[in-house]
Amino acid sequence: MQKIIILDFGSQTTQLIARRVRELNTFCEILPYNKYPADDHDIIGVILSGSPLSVYAPDAFLTDLSAIRGHLPILGICYGAQLISQTYGGKVESAGTREYGRQQLHVIDAKNPLFADFNDHSQVWMSHGDSITRLPEGAHRIASTETVENAAFCIPDPQPIFGVQFHPEVFHTLQGSLLLKNFVVNICGSQQEWSADQFIETTVHELREQIGSDHVILGLSGGVDSSVVAVLLNRAIGDQLTCIFVDHGMLRKNEFASVMSDYKQLGLNVIGVDASEKFLTDLAGVRDPEQKRKIIGRDFIEVFTEEARKIKDATWLAQGTIYPDRIESLNITGKIIKSHHNVGGLPKEMNLKLCEPLRWLFKDEVRRVGRSLGMPEHLIGRHPFPGPGLAVRILGDITREKIRILQDADDIYIRILRETGLYDEIWQAGAILLSDVRSVGVMGDERTYENPVALRAVTSTDAMTADWAHIPHEVLARISNEIINNVKGVNRVCYDISSKPPSTIEWE
């Protein structure tokens, strides 16, 4: 299958480049800047990402482009463009001050294929401290801005090389997707074959080949990723798949029953295990967030392993790992800060082979695949939910009564978000019980002294950064009223207006 390679020089927007390329129905892979796979014949073009570094710094990330130049079209973005310049006889110097923000792009060479259908003076987004002060040999300038003379250049080799100082991958570059389409489709010749349907067809085929007549087990969480894996595997191997869904007692209100019923309707072979007694007993009196996570993780493995052992001939363990879990992102020293994910703690002697059919997909692509598989929208569009569940949303120790209070408050919150059409605009929402805090209230003629509930809702694309969702005041008022009037034990509702960073999405 045709693919674009994105060499990562440590920019925060590298994943964004990949997502934009995928939106063009073209498969792409992100690789560390020095790991170009020269023997991969499916590659049709290469993009060099930005970087927090300077190309002339002693610790700059440098790479040999000779395996690419002359063989495939290249697009350098920001640092990528500077690297091309420096490598081929140009010059890069500090711009004095860092330039950050919107600029208007003046296209000098309107006939250049990179700017096909481009409007002159279109807004682009700049973020750089260095400038290309001399173009590389054989290059000509194809665009400028008021402050950046060499905003884009082209070396018109038979396999052309382009450099752009701005970031076409970000939202604020208004015609950035068009520029990437010109590169990926017109210049590199992508046939735009990467689609959900095509992914399903090839993956089902591959899974059948890989698994043969073996048996696979899969831990379901109710979340989108593991549910899509289940349906995909079910399509490929039917009854050779057994799913295990563990209820640790800290799921949302009625979630276990409703998700089990969804899974059954999807025709999945699923075992539901109510292990809430074990989890809640082990968590009794524990207040420390990390300790809670440890206990839940350990108990989960115990329960899951016990169930899995009952499935005698299982040789595979399927997981809902997705692409962002596996991308090896670099930090400024070139060290990999996120190493390849591995199986979380199942006993080695179980000797299971790992099957991760979503390993190449971004979250939005997982959702598209789910839709193409005919899964119901309420399962596909679900917000992410942490593995330890409400345990990390009850501040303090955990009791059945506190879980009941939080479940009721959360249920009202989420229902109103759905009714007002806000649910789908929000990345993730949930209520938090501040069970160590009590405040005074008055209900009817009576004084109350009860716990507050905090509401959290964020917008995000990947949970790495997030902004608090600007829910209209009248909706917040309705949520607050309904919670205080209906949930015994809560007499105050607060709305969390912190972004990530510096806060996190979960409170614990």
The residues of the shown chain that bind ligand XMP, judged by CB under 6 A, are 293, 384, 386-388, 428, 463, 500, 504-506
| Closest to ligand XMP by CB, 132 or 275 | 275
| Closest to ligand XMP by CB, 293 or 359 | 293
Going by their DSSP bridges, the two strands 161-164 and 152-155 should be labelled as antiparallel
Least spacing, CB of residue 203 vs ligand XMP, in Å: 24
Least spacing, CB of residue 293 vs ligand XMP, in Å: 5
DSSP state of 41: T
Start-to-end C-alpha separation, the chain: 43
| Closest to ligand XMP by CB, 163 or 386 | 386
| Closest to ligand XMP by CB, 296 or 484 | 296
3-state SS, 310-348, equals HCCCEEEEECCCCHHHHCCCECCCCCECCCCCCCCCCCH
Instruction: Tokens for 193, please give them.
Output: 């074959």
Least spacing, CB of residue 458 vs ligand XMP, in Å: 8
Least spacing, CB of residue 344 vs ligand XMP, in Å: 10
| Closest to ligand XMP by CB, 76 or 430 | 430
DSSP state of 180: H
Print burial letters for 151-183: b (CB count within 10 Å at least 16), e (below 16). Answer: bbbbbeeebbbbbbbbbbbeeebebbbbbbbbb
Q: Give Dmax (Cα) for the chain.
A: 84
Contact 72, 188 (CB under 8 A): yes
Q: What number of CA atoms fall less than 13 Å from residue 208's CA on the CB side?
A: 9
With CA atoms as reference, report the closest residue to 170 among 96, 73, 84, 100.
100
Catalogue the active-site residues: 78, 167, 169
| Closest to ligand XMP by CB, 128 or 252 | 252
DSSP state of 66: T
Least spacing, CB of residue 427 vs ligand XMP, in Å: 8
Least spacing, CB of residue 492 vs ligand XMP, in Å: 23
Please identify the residue of the shown chain whose CB is closest to the bound ligand XMP: 387
